[in-house]
């Protein structure tokens, strides 16, 4: 009886356990199906709206703009003459030193001339003898006591004597060297007592009545400059004081590599303290002209040339242009745009022709005229 009761309870427990496990299995299966459905629902892609390309633009303006540029150069004398000797000999006199002022025709070098004077005296004696011989032969020739050949020889001897005398007189003059201009001795390269061989550089005379400087300027600026135009010059060694100068010469050829031309500027009168070799800065200011201007950052370049992105309604179009002078942070437009049109200045990343854009510029106020 007791065993039957135990077996009955054991069977009942087994039945309850089976029911529990069946319930748990059904619950787990339902929960798995629910999670799977949620996962499939969450993984379903959502269609995103394509963002609008944002840009900033500015207006193409027509302004009266004058070009101003500063170029550096070194001051030099307006004229600098090197003194060479044309006759060799010992130097017996050089009265001037570096920094001394000389006037035109002052004797700056004197060479020993004793040998040339002796040769000249000999030639003069030969000249006198040839002259007397010719007179005697002519008297004999009139009396028909001399031939044509003898008369011709005498005339030739006299002509040679005259030429020799003139040549030695010229060579003697070369022993005294005079200053060809008024100026300052800038170089003294020998001393009295030295033997100066022919064509030795002895002195340099600089004309400080005017100082000049040569500066290189862009081909775009050269076309706006003219001989006689006024410029301003500052010399670093003399502080911030501004001096008046003028364009004295514009070289006709440009450097084919740098596309720059050379402009000579004359500074006159010479400021006190100004010396050749000092660093100077020349400021060029051209006449104001009406120019189409855009910000330099709006300009694009590639293998096809220069272009900008021009705003056309709600999209941009690639617009080829030809640029001119750059003035400060703006650049001149020679061809391709008109005043009032708007060009992109920001937002170039992934920007292509005919792309839809949104202009977020804060205003379209006309910018102030740029100052070079």
pLDDT band at 248 (very low <50, low <70, confident <90, very high): very high
**Mean pLDDT score across all residues of the chain:** 85
Whether pLDDT at 300 is above 50: yes
372 closest CA partner among 71, 88, 171: 71
Alpha-carbon distance of 39 to 63, in angstroms, equals 65
Per-residue pLDDT, averaged over 284-302, amounts to: 88
Look at 267 and 68; give whichever has higher pLDDT: 267
Whether pLDDT at 44 is above 70: no
- Domain 69-78+208-285 sits in CATH at 2.40.30.170
71 closest CA partner among 217, 212, 213: 217
Q: Are 60 and 337 in contact (CB under 8 A)?
A: yes
Q: Where are the domains of the chain?
A: 56-66+289-359, 69-78+208-285, 80-196
Alpha-carbon distance of 328 to 339, in angstroms, equals 20
Structure tokens at 24: 């748990």
Residue 281's region, left for phi above 0, alpha for psi from -120 to 50, else beta, is beta
Query: Residue 325's pLDDT is what?
Result: 78
Q: How far is CA 268 from CA 78, 186, 242, 247, in A?
A: 10, 19, 13, 11
Alpha-carbon distance of 325 to 291, in angstroms, equals 10
Whether pLDDT at 279 is above 90: yes
Residue 228, Cβ neighbours under 10 Å: how many?
Answer: 8
Q: Which helix (H) or strand (E) holds 6?
A: helix 2-42
Least confident of 97-111, 193-207, 220-234, 239-253: 220-234
Whether pLDDT at 107 is above 60: yes
Alpha-carbon distance of 202 to 98, in angstroms, equals 12
183 closest CA partner among 72, 269, 106: 106
Q: Are 317 and 325 in contact (CB under 8 A)?
A: no
Q: Into which CATH architecture does domain 56-66+289-359 fall?
A: Beta Barrel (2.40)
Residue 337, Cβ neighbours under 10 Å: how many?
Answer: 20
pLDDT digits (tens, 9 = 90+) for 319-352: 999 998 787 788 989 999 999 999 999 999 989 9
Query: Residue 37's pLDDT is what?
Result: 52
Query: What share of the chain has pLDDT > 90, as a percent?
Result: 61
pLDDT band at 246 (very low <50, low <70, confident <90, very high): very high
């Amino acid at each position: 009886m007791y065993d039957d009761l135990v077996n009955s309870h054991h069977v009942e427990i087994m039945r309850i356990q089976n029911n529990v496990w069946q319930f748990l299995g059904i619950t787990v299966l339902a929960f798995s199906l629910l999670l799977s459905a949620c996962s499939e629902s969450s993984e379903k892609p959502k269609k995103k709206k394509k963002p609008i390309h944002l840009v900033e633009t500015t207006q193409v303006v027509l302004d009266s703009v004058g070009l101003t540029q500063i170029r550096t150069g070194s001051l030099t004398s307006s004229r600098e003459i090197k003194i060479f000797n044309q006759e060799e000999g010992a130097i017996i006199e050089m009265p001037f030193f570096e920094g001394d002022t000389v006037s035109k025709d002052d004797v700056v070098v004197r060479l020993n001339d004793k040998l040339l004077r002796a040769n000249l005296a000999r030639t003069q004696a030969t000249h006198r003898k040839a002259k007397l011989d010719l007179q005697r032969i002519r008297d004999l020739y009139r009396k028909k006591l001399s031939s044509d050949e003898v008369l011709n020889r005498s005339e030739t001897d006299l002509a040679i004597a005259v030429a020799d005398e003139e040549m030695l007189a010229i060579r003697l003059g070369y022993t005294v060297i005079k200053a060809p201009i008024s100026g300052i001795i800038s170089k003294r390269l020998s001393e009295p007592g030295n033997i100066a061989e022919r064509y030795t550089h002895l002195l340099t005379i600089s004309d400080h009545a005017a100082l000049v400087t040569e500066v290189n300027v862009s081909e775009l600026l050269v076309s706006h400059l003219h001989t006689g135009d006024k410029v301003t010059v500052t010399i670093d060694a003399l502080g911030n004081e501004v001096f008046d100068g003028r364009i004295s010469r514009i070289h006709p050829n440009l450097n084919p590599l740098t596309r720059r031309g050379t402009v000579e500027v004359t500074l006159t009168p010479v400021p006190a303290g100004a010396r050749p070799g000092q660093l100077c800065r020349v400021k060029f200011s051209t006449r104001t002209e009406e120019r189409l201007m855009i910000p330099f950052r709006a300009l694009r370049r590639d293998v096809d040339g220069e272009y900008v992105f021009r705003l056309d309604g709600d999209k941009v179009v690639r617009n080829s242009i030809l640029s001119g002078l750059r003035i400060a942070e703006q650049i001149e437009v020679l061809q391709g745009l008109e005043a009032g049109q708007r060009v992109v200045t920001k937002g170039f990343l992934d920007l292509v022709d005919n792309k839809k854009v949104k202009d977020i510029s804060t205003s379209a106020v006309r910018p102030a005229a740029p100052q070079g």
